[in-house]
Amino acid sequence: PFQSPLLQIIAATVDNNRLLLDIDNSKMTADDFRMKYENELVVRQTVEADINGLRNILDDLTHTRSSLESELESLKEELIALKRNHEEEMRQLQSQTSGDVSVEVNAAPGEDLTKILNDLRNEYEQIIEKNRREVEQWYEVKVSSNAQSGINSVEEELASIRCEMESQNQEYKMLLGIKTRLEQEIAQYRALLEEGQQD
């Protein structure tokens, strides 16, 4: 008669301990999920902040490129005017002189203009290199981190921004090349005009 209540007490105690263990396990699982969620949230916020920083860099690059394009247009207009002046002076010289006239001109840009062009090119190349390094550094950090699937769309957006920045940099270099050639041609025509005025 004493065994049955004793067994019941033991069984109830075992059940209670099992329930307590299940509760502890549930708490640990909940804490684990909460920590994972908080970590993923921090990573996502960091990535979004990096995206905003890259967008600012891209905006600055686009603005600088627009300024360069405007400067190129001004140089083209100046070159057209110089060509016209040179052609007019050549016509006047031909009308004032008899026989064939052979003019040999060394129209290399002056040292000052060459230095300015080199400084300008170096400045733009440094900007391009800085942007490239920042994007590569960010990308390496993100590749080494264990970003979860919820961040995939954000990383795709970053890859798109990186691709666009590379495209902007290539276009930047092309514009710099055009600008340099225009400035050299302008320097040549200026030299021709100055020589014509001295004669």
pLDDT, residue 1, reads: 45
Q: Which band of pLDDT confidence, cut at 50, 70 and 90, is reported for residue 138?
A: low
Q: What angle do CA 161, 166, 172 make, to 5 degrees?
A: 125
Amino acid at site 91: R
Is the CB of residue 173 less than 8 Å from the CB of residue 128? yes
Average pLDDT over every residue of 171-197: 80
Q: Which band of pLDDT confidence, cut at 50, 70 and 90, is reported for residue 172?
A: confident
Q: Which band of pLDDT confidence, cut at 50, 70 and 90, is reported for residue 150?
A: low
pLDDT, residue 196, reads: 73
Average pLDDT over every residue of 59-83: 80
Q: Which residue has the higher pLDDT, 120 or 49?
A: 49
Region of 145 on the Ramachandran plot (φ > 0 left; ψ -120 to 50 alpha; else beta): beta
Task: Give the structural domain span for 149.
Answer: 3-198
Place of tokens 């299940």: 22
Task: Please say if the pLDDT value at position 104 is more than 50.
Answer: no
Average pLDDT over every residue of 8-20: 80
Q: Which residue has the higher pLDDT, 131 or 107?
A: 131
What is the overall mean pLDDT for the chain? Answer: 74
pLDDT digits (tens, 9 = 90+) for 16-67: 888 888 888 888 888 888 898 888 888 888 888 888 887 888 788 788 778 8
pLDDT, residue 64, reads: 79
| Cα(83)–Cα(79) distance, integer angstroms | 6
Q: Which band of pLDDT confidence, cut at 50, 70 and 90, is reported for residue 140?
A: low
Is the CB of residue 158 less than 8 Å from the CB of residue 47? yes
pTM greater than the 0.85 cutoff: no
pLDDT, residue 84, reads: 84
**Which range (7-16, 104-113, 121-130, 182-191) has the least confidence?**
104-113
Number of domains in the chain: 1
Q: DSSP label at 110?
A: P
